[in-house]
């Protein structure tokens, strides 16, 4: 008896998680077996309901492929860990990115974005976010929802202040904000106890504010340009 062509197709499809193919019980024959043991699990995985986000360590994340085509990424949204839309001349944030629930690295640098949506907070598995080289004036408060974020790059924008919820990023290790218009540094930054490195060069910051930042983040290496005789806070 020739195997069902549907069964052969399902067996040939790659799967993120390899598992042994179940054998059909003696009383379950034909199409019923195919539906219960193959079609239903496949639909379950594709819906995302059967997948649990797995936070990757740095080495494992770097080993994942980088997708640079959003439409291609949306064809398998639950299996995309790294997305780069760098230099795509984007004028607005593509909301379809929010469908990539397991996304852990997002690079949307060198575009023409003037804002990020509040909904970006749903990407709770993000570990790396690069929004440098845009026209951003503010970061949304929902940035504080990105609890797993380790690296935030927002250099070469028009940022005027850092949101207070930055203090909720308890796993943040790198904060790169050089060449912005920052004049407000909230006290909540002292909660960034894991922050190792922060770049605030090419920003007018007076001696008093530089000293205050050092006191708030005594274990952090902070890079400043020479201090200015100006008012910052």
User: Which pLDDT tens digit goes with each residue over 80-112?
Assistant: 999 999 999 999 999 999 999 999 999 999 999
SS3 at position 223: strand
DSSP 37-67: IIIHHHHHHHHTTT----PPPHHHHHTSPEE
Confidence at 210, pLDDT banded by 50, 70, 90? very high
Confidence at 14, pLDDT banded by 50, 70, 90? very low
The pLDDT value given to residue 54: 83
Portions of the chain given CATH number 3.80.10.10? 58-224
The predicted model scores a pTM of: 0.78
Task: Tell me the longest C-alpha to C-alpha distance in the chain.
Answer: 87
For 58-224, CATH gives 3.80.10.10
């Amino acid at each position: 008896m020739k195997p069902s062509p549907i069964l052969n197709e399902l067996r040939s499809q790659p799967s993120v998680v390899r598992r042994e193919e179940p054998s059909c019980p003696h009383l379950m024959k034909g199409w019923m077996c195919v539906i219960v043991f193959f079609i239903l699990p496949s639909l379950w995985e594709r819906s995302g309901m059967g997948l649990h986000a797995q936070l990757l360590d740095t080495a494992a994340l770097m080993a994942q492929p980088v997708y640079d085509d959003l439409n291609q990424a949306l064809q398998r949204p639950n299996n995309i860990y790294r997305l780069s839309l760098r230099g795509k001349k984007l004028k607005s944030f593509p909301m379809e990115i929010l469908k990539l629930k397991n996304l852990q690295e997002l690079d949307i640098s060198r575009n023409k974005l003037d804002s990020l949506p509040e909904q970006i907070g749903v990407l709770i598995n993000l570990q790396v976010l690069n929004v440098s080289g845009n026209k951003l004036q503010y970061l949304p408060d929902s940035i504080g929802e990105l609890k797993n974020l380790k690296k935030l790059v927002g250099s070469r924008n028009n940022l005027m202040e850092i949101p207070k919820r930055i203090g909720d990023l308890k796993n943040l290790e790198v904060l790169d904000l050089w060449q912005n218009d920052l004049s407000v540094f909230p006290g909540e930054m002292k909660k960034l106890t894991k922050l190792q490195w922060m770049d605030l060069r090419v920003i007018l910051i007076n001696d008093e504010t530089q000293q205050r930042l050092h006191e708030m983040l005594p274990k952090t290496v902070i890079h400043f340009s020479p201090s200015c005789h100006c008012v910052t806070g």
